[in-house]
Amino acid sequence: MSLSLDPRDWIPHREPFLLVDRLLEIHPGESAVGEWTLTGDEWFFPGHFPGRPTTPGVLMVESIAQVGAVAVLSDERFRGKLPLFGGVEHARFRRQVLPGDTLRLECVMTRLSARAGKGHGTAHLGDQLAVECDLMFVLADAP
């Protein structure tokens, strides 16, 4: 069975808040890998920061969470659900992410139950770690 690699087929996010361009791997209920290429035309760069555009750390964490949501929602057990943030722990920002950069996003589920879960996520620029964090979420019914 072939799984769609279009994030819009898995998560409800849409522009301007869809922060994953493409999926590279999906292991339902276990992990997912995706990419987000920063073109420089994103809505946040003019104000963050004028003269030195830098991708906000909170948006990089959100992009990891979106990939994690794909890992969860691609599992048949969680169809019709919506993962909502329950918390972020141990977030570390190691590198600036600039216009033109492509982040490789990965989220691995470390705990997953019928109502909640945890995942460990990373974002890399090439072979260099840019962000890592632990995410907690609860599962709500999708609208």
Question: Tell me, what's the pLDDT at 47?
Answer: 97
Q: Is residue 1 part of a domain?
A: no
Cα separation values, 57 from 61, 84, 103, 112, 118, Å: 6, 19, 12, 25, 20
pLDDT digits (tens, 9 = 90+) for 12-41: 999 999 999 999 999 999 999 999 999 999
Q: Decide if pLDDT at 1 tops 70.
A: no
pLDDT digits (tens, 9 = 90+) for 37-53: 999 999 999 999 999 99
The CATH number assigned to the domain holding 59 equals 3.10.129.10
Q: Decide if pLDDT at 143 tops 90.
A: no
The whole model's pTM is what? 0.97
Considering its fold, how many domains does the chain have in total? 1
pLDDT digits (tens, 9 = 90+) for 86-136: 999 999 999 999 999 999 999 999 999 999 999 999 999 999 999 999 999
Query: Is 48 one of the annotated active-site residues of the chain?
Result: yes
Determine which one of 13, 27, 48, 124 is catalytic. Answer: 48
Q: Is residue 112 part of a domain?
A: yes
Within 8 A by CB and 6+ apart from 75, the residues are: 28, 29, 112
What range does the domain containing 85 cover? 7-141
Q: Is residue 2 part of a domain?
A: no
Q: Is residue 16 part of a domain?
A: yes
